[in-house]
Amino acid sequence: MSRLEQAIAAAHEAGRGAFIGYLPIGYPDLATSIDAAVALAEAGADILELGPPYSDPVLDGPIIQEATNAALEAGFRTSDVFTAVREIAKRTDVPVVIMTYWNMVVQYGVDRYAADLAAAGGAGLITPDVTPDSAADWIAASEEHGLDRVFLAAPTSSDERLDLIVESTRGFVYTVSTMGVTGERADLDLAARTLVERLRAHGATRACVGIGISSAEQIRDVVAYADGAIVGTALVRALRDGGVEQLSRVARELASGTTR
């Protein structure tokens, strides 16, 4: 199994769904973002999902956009991704997957990006704006460098698209809970459960649900039918409002919802 698959399997063996926590790289500064990621791992995250700031974050809600804009204004560079992953990997064994818009990878060079990420200790990429049928160069590079590739499935995905996503993904399928941007929602869309069921029918063995999850209760609901839950906005809000200490408190509370 890959590193992401191993992390999910370890959570299941412990009687839990996996807790995947997102944070932006470089917010509020590079050093603090590294400390925050390590604190998130120590508070119970099974997988760290780190996002490089991007100038046109079409999937991100306002809180994450606010954080990534601040990181860009502070001088974030793509090379900071590999610095952050390298330093985090020195301090925790929790795998790090990068959630990145595809243009950043293309501009850096697909094979070069994959090589540098693997050398830094990263586990793979989540690519929200590229589909498997458009990602032949990334699939080849990920195979070459032993990286996981996480593609997104949406409630609107056709059966043919789900077949392609399941066949091409390694690690887990990022299961979009509802159409729209990231953020906190009081009620998760029931489409998430239906989508996971569809993915299972198409052969997916690991499906983790993201977008809109912000409480331990919601995580508990999700891990009853999915392999893990992905949380971003609630963690970024905690880091913004109370620094690493508050982030740790919120992460521990969220992790308490993973028990099945």
Show which residues are catalytic: 49, 60
Helical segments of 20-158, H only: 30-42, 62-73, 79-91, 102-108, 110-120, 136-145
pLDDT at residue number 181: 42
pLDDT, one tens digit per residue, over 7-45 is 999 999 999 999 999 999 999 999 999 999 999 999 999
pLDDT at residue number 43: 98
Residue type, 220: R
- Cβ atoms of 231 and 22 closer than 8 Å: yes
CATH of the domain at 80: 3.20.20.70
Residue type, 81: V
Residue range of the domain that includes 65? 3-258
Is the pLDDT reported for residue 246 higher than 50? yes
pLDDT at residue number 218: 92
Query: What tokens appear for 142 in the block?
Result: 């990920």
- Cβ atoms of 126 and 100 closer than 8 Å: yes
Average pLDDT over residues 55-75: 82
How far apart CA 68 and CA 79 sit, in angstroms, is: 16
Residue type, 4: L
Other C-beta atoms closer than 10 Å to the C-beta of 248 total: 19
pLDDT at residue number 211: 85
Closest CA to 98 of 118, 124, 77: 124
How far apart CA 139 and CA 136 sit, in angstroms, is: 5
How far apart CA 86 and CA 183 sit, in angstroms, is: 28
How many structural domains compose the chain? 1
pLDDT, one tens digit per residue, over 156-214 is 999 999 999 999 999 999 999 764 444 444 455 678 899 999 999 999 999 999 988 99
pLDDT at residue number 188: 58
pLDDT at residue number 54: 82
